[in-house]
Amino acid sequence: MAIKELHVVPVQSRKDWDDFLDLPEIVYRDDPNWVPPLRKAIAQQLSENSSFKAYGDLQPFVARQGGEAVGRIVSAINQRLVEKEGRAVGLVGYFECLEDRTVAKALLEAACDWLREKGCVVGRGPIDLSTHINCLLLVDGFDSPPHIMMPYNPRYYPQLFEDAGWQPTKDAYAYDFHMNQLSPAFERSYRRALDAGIRFRSIHMRGKGFEDDCRSLYRVFTQSFSDNWSATPRSEDEFLEEARDLRHIADPDLFPVAEHNGQMVGFWMGLPDFNIALRHIGGRLNAIGLLKLLWYQRKINQARVLAVGVLPEYQKPRLALGPALVYLGMQGGSSKPGRYKRAELSWVWEDNKSSRKLIESSGGIVYKTYRIYEKNFQELN
């Protein structure tokens, strides 16, 4: 039996792009938990007019064996991350591969070769250009679909990375909790924040109020999470563009904000889990896909909490802003009949002790674990 020759090539032609974008459908064709990403969104992220091109460089690759696409990957250099860390960190992302160590090794070697040629000293991933877009490899918790804007992959992916010489670097957790099982201590925290002069409301969803809130959110988000590992700063325009996209699926009941003297000082950022509907449209938001989305969104009964952010100067025990926002977010999500029964709070780095303590005190239980890998190129010289 003839051995089919394996080739890893840079994505250039229309066929290359079709193979790259179609590859997940081959990998996950028998996986009931997979939620297809929107093809147009992936294509836009990697296009020549992507906003990433203003501060980074990237190269997609596709692997073919016997003429058939069997894997894909993207190498990227995010200059914002390089400047933040003070060293040439390269990224690998958009990784998809059939269960074949040879194919995976060839893909990862091609990605690393490109990064080394650009002067990188270390590779890190999976990160799709930025942690704000998509990142992490699922290593535990394969028995349920991912929540909105969370990654998912086959069980064999972590072993493919490790077999290719990549080292586990940092884990992150997703927490599962019921929306209506908070202890009375959280309501007391809410009352204490009110007594301290903090005022709470839902985010504005329309017009100038929405735009003003998004600018305030950008300020609080940037200051609250400036030290997050491997995260890169976004411009206000980039943040507003993303917020405008998410507005179409946001629910103000899941998005309380805290104010002091008329200025936003904290927020709970929750979204309905639209993956419940998106898993039925096959990654194509055409006319039929839109009709399916409208039909299945009625079945959304769970949410994802993306972040709880509080300005550093307001992170004081006497204000109890974090627990107060948890109380309001969970009350808002479960207050109406037939609404959200449960939520996922994700993701949280393993060494983020303060956030993990708050989440676990609210009843959150780790039910999925994710991982970032690195490969030191200097050790190979």
Q: State how many domains the chain has.
A: 2
Query: How would residue 299 be classed by pLDDT, with cut points 50, 70 and 90?
Result: confident
- Count CB-CB contacts under 10 A for residue 34: 18
Confidence (pLDDT) at 381: 45
Cα-Cα-Cα-Cα dihedral sign, residues 71, 75, 80, 81: positive
Query: In this predicted structure, what is the pLDDT of residue 265?
Result: 98
Q: Say if 58 falls within a structural domain.
A: yes
Q: What is the CA radius of gyration of the chain?
A: 21
Give the pLDDT score at 335: 73
What does the pLDDT read at residue 379? 63
pLDDT of residue 295: 73
* pLDDT band (50, 70, 90) for residue 63: very high
Q: What is the pLDDT of residue 318?
A: 86
Indicate whether 258 belongs to any domain. Answer: yes
Of 321, 366, 374, 317, the residue nearest 89 (C-alpha): 374
- List, for residues 216-245, the tens digit of each pLDDT value: 999 999 999 988 999 998 999 999 999 999
Residue 85 has pLDDT above 90, yes or no: yes
Percent of the chain's residues with pLDDT above 90? 81
Taking CA atoms, 298 is separated from 68, 95, 295, 305, 310, in Å, by 39, 32, 6, 19, 32
Residues 23 and 164 in one domain: yes
Quick one: 126 and 211 in the same domain?
A: no
Q: What is the DSSP string of 122-183?
A: EEEESBSSSTTT-B-EEEE-TTSPPPTT-----TTHHHHHHHTT-EEEEEEEEEEEETT---
Same domain, 143 and 48: yes
* Domain identity same for 139 and 240: no
List pLDDT tens digits, range 327-351.
999 988 777 656 888 999 999 999 9
What local confidence, expressed as pLDDT, does residue 278 receive?
84
Residue with tokens 């300005």: 311
Mean pLDDT of the chain: 93
- Which among 291, 298, 245, 246 has a CA at the least distance from the CA of 276? 298
- Phi and psi at 305, nearest 5°, equal -95, 115
For the segment 195-223, the average pLDDT, to the nearest whole number, is: 96
Within a domain: 364? no
Cβ distance 220 to 311 under 8 Å? yes
What CATH number has the domain bearing residue 223?
3.40.630
CATH number (domain holding residue 94):
3.40.630.30
Q: Are residues 145 and 284 in the same domain?
A: no
pLDDT at site 284: 72
Instruction: Over range 315-332, report the average pLDDT.
Output: 91
Pick from 228, 274, 253, 247: nearest CA to 336: 253
From 87-91, 179-183, 283-287, the region with the lowest mean pLDDT: 283-287
Q: Are 297 and 326 in a shared domain?
A: yes
pTM of the model: 0.93
Could you give the dihedral angle defined by the CA atoms of residues 161, 167, 169 and 173, in that order, rounded to the nearest 10 degrees? 40
| Of 109-113, 122-126, 278-282, 357-361, the least confident | 278-282
Residues 204, 166, single domain; the answer is no
**Domain around 194:** 180-340
Q: Find tokens 């091609």 and name the residue.
A: 110
Asked if residue 294 has pLDDT above 80, the reply is no
Same domain, 165 and 216: no
Residue 292 has pLDDT above 50, yes or no: yes
Poorest-confidence range of 102-111, 139-148, 282-291? 282-291
Predicted local confidence at residue 77, as pLDDT: 98
The answer to whether 97 and 107 have CB atoms below 8 angstroms apart is: yes
pLDDT greater than 50 at residue 1: no
Q: Residue 176 above 90 pLDDT? A: yes
Span 170-189, average pLDDT: 92
State the pLDDT at residue 336.
65
Q: Domain check: are 248 and 327 in the same one?
A: yes
